[in-house]
Amino acid sequence: MDPVDPVAVVKAATAALNAGDVEGALALYDDAVLQRAPDAAGGLGFKVRRGKAALRRTLEADSRARVRFRHLRYVASGDVVATEGVNSGLFDGVWVAQPVAAFYEVRDGKITSVTVYYDRLALQRALGH
């Protein structure tokens, strides 16, 4: 069996999301996927979500907000892919574009974890929160 290119998996998942294909994107994630993102409550830690059901809720919310992921750079080391780019979408009626970095772990052709970094405080200010 040919090894699966982790960058190709991340690019395929991103393309599916940008096309509004939540099911196509979910197919590229492991059932026990681990998600980490800045704490929505303004804390210094991460909000951690586990499993595909939690990921589905996140991706469906992103789809409703018309979020688009524009990865400008990929750096891979083994099964880990780091991306740098800009995410944009419509949040609370405000169009926002924000720099973002994300780290994906890919095993056996599936994304097993994703950790996203962005300026949560800048996002809250842009939305008037």
Nearest to residue 53, comparing CAs of 37, 69, 32?
32
Q: How high is the pLDDT of residue 73?
A: 95
The CATH class of the 6-127 domain is alpha beta
Output the pTM of the full model: 0.87
pLDDT (tens digit per residue) in 86-119: 988 877 787 888 899 999 999 999 999 999 987 7
Amino acid sitting at position 7: V
Residues 6+ apart with CB under 8 A from 110: 9, 28, 29, 30, 33
pLDDT (tens digit per residue) in 37-72: 887 766 677 889 999 999 999 888 888 878 889 999
Tokens for 85, please give them.
């780019």
Domain edges within the chain: 6-127
